[in-house]
């Protein structure tokens, strides 16, 4: 069974699939994006809207950071809250910069 969420400000709210399907196209789910090395590397953090927690043990995993390009290409991590996502994004930007030096 999947669990669907939308954002109310920065707070994820559990909703039905029907509400999620109707509302998800109207929301901006970008938390942060940083382009590095003249655009050759991008670190992107987004709200997923679907819980990616496997086995339903622990809090829902609703935010996703991924690196595109460079030595860390396709590296990724997920977390539960907007605040964690902002912190995670900054950490991956630093990792990408350090890996690209």
What is the mean pLDDT of each successive set of 10 residues along the chain, which is 101 residues long? 87 92 80 94 95 84 96 96 97 94 62
What percent helix, strand, coil does the chain show, rounded to 5?
30, 35, 35
Beta bridge partners of 47: 63
How many domains are contained in the chain? 1
- Tokens coding 62: 């609703």
Structural domain contains residue 16:
no
Q: How many CA atoms lie within 13 A of 61 on its CB side?
A: 15
Structural domain contains residue 20:
no
- Tokens coding 101: 């030096």
Q: Are 30 and 46 in contact (CB under 8 A)?
A: yes
Structural domain contains residue 14:
no
CA-wise closest residue to 40 among 75, 67, 65, 66:
67
Structural domain contains residue 47:
yes
Structural domain contains residue 41:
yes
What is the domain range of residue 59?
29-100
Q: How many CB atoms lie within 10 A of CB 52?
A: 13
Structural domain contains residue 81:
yes
Structural domain contains residue 5:
no
Structural domain contains residue 4:
no
């Amino acid at each position: 069974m999947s669990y669907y969420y939308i954002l109310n400000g920065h707070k994820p709210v559990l909703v039905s699939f029907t509400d999620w399907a109707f509302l998800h196209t109207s929301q901006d789910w970008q938390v942060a994006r940083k382009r590095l090395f003249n655009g050759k590397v991008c670190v992107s953090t987004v709200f997923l809207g679907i819980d990616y927690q496997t086995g339903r043990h622990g809090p829902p995993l609703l935010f996703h950071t991924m690196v595109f390009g460079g030595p860390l290409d396709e590296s990724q991590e997920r977390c539960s809250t907007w605040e964690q996502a902002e912190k995670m994004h900054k950490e991956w930007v630093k990792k990408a910069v350090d890996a690209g030096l």
